[in-house]
Structure 1
Amino acid sequence: MTNINNQDTSQAVSDAICMWSLDRRTRKIEVDDNYLEIVGEQHQGHILLDDFIKLFSTQEAKRVALLVAGVIANKGMEQTHTVVHSKKGGSRLLELTLWLSPEFDYSIQGTLQLVSLIPSQSSIDRLLFNYFSMGNFSVIVADQYTNIIYSNHHANQSFGYDAHELLGSKTRIFNARKHDKEFYTQLWSSLDTHGFWHGKILTKHKNGDISPLDSEIHKVVDSETSQPFYIAISRNIKGSTHRLTGRNIGGIDLETYLPVKSKLIDNIAGLIRSKQEKRTVISVAFAPLTKGDKAISTELSQAFHSLINDYHSAYCGNQQYVVAFRCNSDLDTILSRIKQLITHLRSLNNRSLSVAISQGNIGISVFGRDANNATDLVEHSILAMVESHATDGSNISFYDDNIHLELSRKEGIPDYLNDSLDRKAIEPWYQAIVSTQTWRIVKFEALCRFQNASEFGYRLDELIAVAEQQGRITELDDTICLKALNDLSTIHKLLSDNSIGLTLNRSLYNDVASASLPKALTLVLDSKVAQQNITLEITESAYFEGNSQQQQQLEAIRKQGVSIAIDDFGTGYSSFSYLYQSRFDLLKIDQSFVRNLKKATKAYFIVETIVMLAKKLGIEVIAEGVETLEETQLLYELGVTYLQGFYFSKPLPISDIKKSKNYYKNIDKLSSLHVTQSAQKLGVFCNKRHPTISLDGTFKQVLDIFDHCSVSSIPVLAEGKCVGLIEREAFGYVLSPTTGGVGETKKDLENLNRHIQGIVKRSFSQIDAKGFVSNISSMMESSLALPWVVCDTKGMYLGMIDEKMVMDYLLLRVRQS
């Protein structure tokens, strides 16, 4: 692959050009001797059109076919870049030029030139080729100098560029200039160290718009030249609010593109350090009244972006914004500057925005008066904002004495915590974890309880947070751990079961993290308790954000026979993307997904996916927060290994541990539960929420589905069976360009009332629901066309498996390999 060595990658690998001519009557393509060098396929002076088409992915073949149709209709010339896959292995990026023969209408002529090769030695080759067959991923290929050597059709459309504009350009053409140097340093470090980076990144389009992308970048090294090149596979998630809320990268909130609170605090700290006489810093917190209107939320983000000069803005989540600025410390100036800020935001020629700010709450904190550091300054303005309703008819509240009452309560927490730790006045309470195979208690989770905390109004989460801040969290964990290990023999005696295990929580908070895990292992080994009966549980964020040293410590603990569990799985991280790196034995599904679990809901499908992937990786699953028999049955049917929650037992002190068996009164109900289908069957794996349409449906119904759902095809059902598909691309050809637009005609409306029978594609791939997910690879190799319609033994429709689902599965397999 010699082009990887060339800084000018807009030039082709070879100067050789293949001349070709297609006879549409015989469907034969005449080629010259350069065809072998450029395409990598043998020939005898000609090839069949059908054989040539097989070199393309489905998506690329359709796109090239449209170019051919355009040449025939316009009698012009077309030029594009495309990808083919050689039977010898490896993908080839080609420049394709085609035109209508000036002599014969039945002849199309053109040229082929090789742009670059992708080595067959890399598993990325097949992965990349498969991604080219899908229309919803942007693919960018760059050489070692970050020159772009290929962009697929979806990338060109998404970013607003023509292919020739990107070819040879630097990848910085997409730089939104929102991330700091540290973000890119970590990205390149991951590529250099692991050959892979995955995360969210803000990207600029040609028109200047900015969008968040869920991106993967793979580093691939040419086996012949040892030169690297980079493949970026991305999906725009700008419209996926549920995936953006609360997420940030490099200190930038993905929902608003404003700095997050921690970034603002750093900026304020800089202002405070650069002291100026008779000057102070003001923090103003806003909670505009949006009433859930997303349009107003977007306008608010733009309004706070418009603040320039010495204003520093941030988004703090939950529709809360904070603006900080420096001004003279006299009260008149402070009031004047605050008034200027609020007036500016209210006067942005947008009445709905003005109303949202005017009717919302505003809180103000002044450095030197209400706070002596950047963190307190911001937090006090937010507290004042929350308490704005207590002011006399105004929505603006300064940080005042009423809020100090709450702070006084909180200020007592450190003393209470330290006294409790010093006196060891902390006890483990135990909550049962039940096996879904035997409905017996297999272990207890040891939970921290402070003596008399409720008398002082202190919550457990507050106490733990202060313990982390005070650097005493490991000591707290050790106290509970030691007492629980000592209690285990008593638990065995009281419950007459020596096989019952123990789950111990460990914090990996900041600086104390490096000492926490080794200390836990020492306590376990010194206790003489059987290591296989012990599980150490850490939070998801702590696990995935942990450094290499912590990962090594976790692996050492596992080698001693102690299990590792991940708590709160699915709540705060890109969980699925990191499953393949798993160095843990159990994962605990957060109770937010379990509470009020119902079949065919979003939470249900999330749990279903977690269980399916975990089983494939040999990881056991615990669901916490189980409170009803209905939740128990659904989780059992989905294949969850262990259950924990009030349905079985509340946390209990050692003195009441026998009460943990009170759920045995329901043992007959539990024993009667049955699994409807294996989580590894295609009938479970398939998308049961995929939109469908009846055979007597109308064009209007089809249009509504395609307008609101990102699907490429719709199954057509008759009496519960699939009788065909309606494909998005084909449907577009039967509609007038004015349909649904400003120029929509009466004929367009009449056309939408037509029934769909005449446009149903009757040939499609149908698969048995009893097949296994593990068969997907062989099904792909057998060229079984996607999408796949999943049916039961009676031929009744169950769901769909589309290209995205298959590619996600194949990607997981590639990561495992």
Structure 2
Amino acid sequence: MLTARDCLCSRHRSVGALQRYRDVAARNGNEVLVYAVFDEDDGDGRFLGLVEVREAALFPARVFADLLVRRQPPGLDPATPVDEVWARLERERCDYLPVISGEGAFVGVVSRFALVAALMEHEHALNEERARLIDNLRCELENRKIAAAVFDATAEGIMVTDVQGRILLVNAAFCRTTGYSEAEAIGQTPGLLKSGRHDAAFYAEMWRTIDETGSWQGEIWNRRKSGEIYPEWLHIDLVRDEQGKPRYYVGVFADIGSHKELRAQLMHLAFHDALTGLPNRRLLLDRLGQAVARAQRNETEIGVLFIDLDHFKDINDAYGHGIGDRILVEAAQRLTHLVRANDTVARLGGDEFAVIVEDIVDEADLAEVAEKLLTAFAEPFTHDEREFFLAASIGIARYPGDGETVEALLMNADTAMYNAKQQGRGRYYFFASEMHRRLARRIEATDILRKALASSGLMLAWQPQVRLADGTIAGVEVLLRLARHEDASMPSPAELVAAAEESGLIKTLGHWVLREACVAGARLDGRLRGFGIAVNFSPLQFDHDCAPRVLELIESCGLPAQRLEVEITESAIASENETLVRSLETFATAGIAIAVDDFGTGYSNLGNLLRLHVDKLKIDQAFVGGLEHDEKSRKIVQTIIQMGRNLGMTVVAEGVETLAQARILRDFGCDLAQGYLFARPMAFEDFARLFTSGTPIPH
């Protein structure tokens, strides 16, 4: 409320008795609206009144001046309300009123102008405050609209209850998720949504946490209006009033049913093969571990069958992975249909599967299962109007006899499967301890070979090939040896080669053997005179760039191609490997001789011999060893020699150890022979001295 004090006029002049003339006369009269007159000069004198006339202030002793002063209306109390001030001005018919304090002291002057100015200023302040309040109200309304929009637009369901648990507010997401409309929910309690899956202890613990901490969150199962039970992630917050007392409970929740489905799908993918849907290796290991634990507890046996599809890679290479994948899916279905519901069929990767069979009685039970699994491939697989015939090799290991751990059982079943393939494929094979010994020896041989290649631990042994007619050296075969062969437990050369083939080291090993042979042979080249250096080649060495690589190597070593002899087994040329055939044709064109080793033990035919331009046939030592006592061996050897001579090939007998064998071979017309009768494999320096001496070897 405005008072007289708020409306004091600032344009008045205080004039004392003795200073009136000087002070008033010194002022510009236009700047002062009214003069306050006192009876003393220091301004502390008695207030006489107000005058508007300058002269009255100059000459107050005059009668009209005194009358003007004395006729002043009474002064105003500073707390007088504005409306009363205005009424006094009207009543007194004046423009100015003095303001006098309760102690009688002059405070100031109120004028009509000052009153109007104060009222206008006050009105302006009120207008500004009103505008500010309106702006604040508008912002508040806008914020409320935004909050309401967010409340309804949020994807999470929201429910607000009072402290008694009655529902006060719900949003649109609440209605969509629960199926209840806003009208159906308001006034009810959250018990409307109870699924019955949680007991009283669950809810008691939840409310205890809210009371102690002010919030709770977790997974809870609720029921929709339709009766469907669904999982949600719920967050409850306690809202308190200004005094800190509970006022509302706000629950925010999200339906996580789809998340749980996604999580279930991810879990399925983590433990199942994406192509076939079968358990993968990870799940197989887990189930096998559980099966072993049960068998140990119940003193029962289990079996593990390791299955590999024979020649499946050929289908992938010839017809593409699309056809291959469809065959794998069908193979998985066939295997699954042939085992019991409590047995496990898993895909380990590629074309490898495994089966866990529990509660078996004896080996016959597993044999019966294996027979059923083999029959799964009796019918052809038909895709894109083509029929594909597949077989499988199965290895079987038993718990506890063949291993007491998951790793041992799988490894031994795999070893047995490998032996099934070696026995001719399309069959099953039980694990035996001898297999494990062979597997361990193969691993040991691979390790020794790898270290030998890295540390110059290999050497070549040279074994002469002798003309049976005169005992002169006509050729030599280089053989792989360990540089330090300390005891009989070390792997044999044949084991080293097998280890190289299985481990992928065969190309590295073959390159080393060929380079060493060519470098050494180049030192004898001037004295060779048709002499050939035979180097054994594994079928796995023949890839698309085998021939160019060999020709480049012998050229870099300075050995003429005519001095090299590539030796391959009869079974290798029977495989009809086109890459091998093309490589041998390139060798023959370059002048490299081709020799067939172990002839008579494989499955080649005359067509292969003629097509490959074979220069030498080497009779296997198994036949040579029976020459003295076995008529069939003599007939086979005689036939091979005769055939070779008719085809213009040189015939070499291997493993000759007695003079009697040498005489029989000479009588049959065999050209060359090698074996312990003539010389054991030796170091290159020893062979070079023997060869350069020119002395015939006794025979």
TM-score range (shorter-chain normalised) is 0.3 to 0.5
Larger radius of gyration: 2
TM-score, structure 1 length as denominator? 0.36
Query: Which structure shows the higher helix fraction?
Result: 2
TM-score, structure 2 length as denominator? 0.41
